[in-house]
Amino acid sequence: MHNQTSPLPYRSGFVTVVGRPNVGKSTLINALLKQKIAAVSPRPQTTRITQFGILTRREAQIIFIDTPGVHHPRHKLGEKMNEKALQTLEECDLILLLVDASLPPDEDDRLLAAHLASLHHPARILLVLNKVDLLNHDERGGRAKAFAELAPGAESIQISAIRRENLEALTDLIASHLPEHPPFFPEEQLTDLYERDLAGDLIREAALRLLRDEVPHGIAVRLDQYTERGEGGAYIEATLFVERESHKGIVIGQGGAMLKQIGSLARKEIEEMSGRKVYLHLRVKVRKNWRNDEKVLRWFGYS
């Protein structure tokens, strides 16, 4: 894909995608790569880890860094997620500030804008207004003006990730701002995470999609076994950790029905991601108040 004879210099660089929770960061990266590599759900804070999404074109390689949504934290896990999101901002080539244009700027948007304004070595900021398909034409101008005040002087573009509206123009714009550099990764590589890391994230996404509001953010997934079975696919055992006994009952469901649903949805997603058959066995355990336990956060890889 890297064309040495092209009259244009090859561009390659790192683009940190930031925004408050649930603005569509992972949805956008999946849409740009035309393949699912990041967990998405209607719940805020689905993303808990930073992950590369690698888009290789004839003239450029764009390495998107998907980050947890920046928010006012209520526990140590939230603090760690904010730290992970913000530490990438000083080191990237371009900051893609993604906002939900269907709603006016809120407290989390302003918190993130303040962080961006305080950077020591800020990269160029590109303001991306997502979900514009939910606004009529007259509303778009006023909403764009309100968000422009959060990032003075930033170039902006309006898109809809879910409807793939204006994504080609966005990709061209991003590539034009990257430094001249050969590609960092082989052209067929889509992410820096291994299949087992992605499997754990997809199991948690399935739980987020199916469970009630009071349970999801108290859920962590630990992969206990990931065994290759050659042509037979892979065998996965995983434990879902919750913070309360009452949550354990909700996750398991009557006669194990909910856990079976979570397993079925997760297995389907993992098979689509890996392109092969997967055998998945889930169990549920209680680890009280794990989101505020430094040792457990390290154990789960958040610290």
Express each pLDDT in 101-158 by its tens digit: 999 999 889 988 988 888 887 789 999 999 999 999 889 999 999 999 999 989 999 9
| Both structure tokens of 12 | 């390659």
Give the E-state strand segments of 30-106 in sequence order. 51-56, 60-66, 94-100
Assigned CATH topology for domain 195-299: GMP Synthetase; Chain A, domain 3 (3.30.300)
Ranges 57-66, 157-166, 202-211, 220-229: which has the least confidence: 220-229
Number of neighbouring beta carbons within 10 Å of residue 84 = 18
Residue that wins the pLDDT comparison between 241 and 129: 129
77 pLDDT band, cuts 50/70/90, is low
Q: What is the pLDDT of residue 183?
A: 92
CATH numeric code, 11-176: 3.40.50.300
Mean pLDDT of 176-189: 90
Residues of the chain with CATH 3.40.50.300: 11-176
Q: Give the position of tokens 């590589």.
A: 189
* Residue-wise pLDDT tens digits, 19-47: 887 888 888 988 998 876 654 444 434 44
Mean pLDDT of 192-210: 80
Mean pLDDT of 94-100: 94
Q: Is the pTM of this model over 0.85?
A: no
Residues of the chain with CATH 3.30.300.20: 195-299
> Do 114 and 144 form a contact (C-beta atoms < 8 A)?
no
63 pLDDT band, cuts 50/70/90, is very high
Q: What is the pLDDT of residue 48?
A: 42
